[in-house]
Amino acid sequence: MPTDTAPDKQAVKDYLLGLQDRICAELETEDGGARFIQDQWQREQGGGGRSRVLTEGNAIEKGGVNFSHVFGDQMPASATAHRPELAGRSFEAMGVSLVIHPNNPYAPTSHANVRFFIAEKPGAEPVWWFGGGYDLTPYYGNDNDCRHWHRTAKEALDPHGDNLYPFFKKWCDDYFFLKHRDEPRGVGGLFFDDFNELGFERSFAVMRAVGDSYLPAYRPILARRKDTEYGERERNFQLYRRGRYVEFNLVYDRGTLFGLQTGGRTESILMSLPPLVRWDYDWQPEPGSAEAALTEHYLQARDWIE
């Protein structure tokens, strides 16, 4: 592991708290109606956080932006499953995680998170890494939105290495995939984990690039789509497709499993779930319809920039 400088946990925490503030302020402005309600909480085993939730807004049906900083004497199973050498170490984990579910079916759901883990043991070098990313889940896709989303991600990462965007994009495509449905959750974006290969300062800069580019990637899309006219058909399809979002978060999502296994606050962990959702048995879209285009055109691993 690179050891250019020792990890600065306070610098990471300060950045994350500021990021939460900035994202909430801009999304409130874009919504133009509701405001985030803050819920500060403490974790009995160590640490705590502040959850912010906006509901029934003009543009946002439910949005959650959560900061957490938790620590403990033992790494949870979700963290040691792919890093068994970390078993028995104490840990600290901090991050910002958010999900925005708009009212309008033509406005996509978005998810983002950035996080930092450090595992320590007396007499040994600390083991640390960054992770995070963001992804977009449309219901009625738009090519321009997809290109903007991915172009913003690429432009954010290119100064840190021209290999990062294609690497993180493929990782996102592979990670946000519902194996039991044999389909991706959305049109992808960025995903990375266990990232420390550039040393602390440069790896931290990569994490900041991801966190800082979320609003430029998502807010213009929400602004363009939030007032599009729609009817009952589009709303029902949105609720049906939200079911896929719930399935992924409860079955596969590593962050959800980590939070639950570390005794985290359940309300904050599950704030990512949409307020309304439906499952229809063996429903199939009409051939050639806008609903069919979602799986046939948009939910495909592809190069959106080219």
Tell me whether residue 187 is annotated as binding: no
Tell me whether residue 246 is annotated as binding: no
221: its two tokens = 């899309």
- Picking from 48, 136, 57, the residue whose alpha carbon sits closest to that of residue 98 is 136
Tell me whether residue 236 is annotated as binding: no
- Picking from 230, 241, 242, the residue whose alpha carbon sits closest to that of residue 273 is 242
Tell me whether residue 111 is annotated as binding: yes
For residues 55 and 35, the answer to whether their CB atoms sit within 8 Å is no
297 is catalytic: no
Tell me whether residue 189 is annotated as binding: no
Tell me whether residue 297 is annotated as binding: no
25: its two tokens = 């302020």
- Chain-centroid distance of CA 56 in Å reads 21
Q: How many whole angstroms separate alpha carbon 61 and alpha carbon 158?
A: 34
Tell me whether residue 82 is annotated as binding: no
Q: How many whole angstroms separate alpha carbon 6 and alpha carbon 120?
A: 13
CA atoms within 13 A on the CB side of 262: 32
Phi, psi of 303 (to 5 degrees): -90, 100
Tell me whether residue 148 is annotated as binding: no
Amino acid identity for residue 61 in this structure: E
- Picking from 193, 176, 1, the residue whose alpha carbon sits closest to that of residue 79 is 193
Tell me whether residue 263 is annotated as binding: yes
For residues 66 and 51, the answer to whether their CB atoms sit within 8 Å is yes
Among 111, 148, 160, 297, the active-site one is 111
- The sign of the dihedral angle between the CA atoms of 88, 89, 90, 93 is negative
- Count other Cβ atoms within 10 Å, centred on residue 221: 23
Tell me whether residue 161 is annotated as binding: no
Tell me whether residue 101 is annotated as binding: yes
- Binding region for substrate: 97, 113-115, 263-265
* Catalytic annotation, residues: 111
Residues placed in the known binding site: 97, 101, 111, 113-115, 150, 180, 263-265
Query: Residues within the annotated binding site for a divalent metal cation?
Result: 101, 111, 150, 180
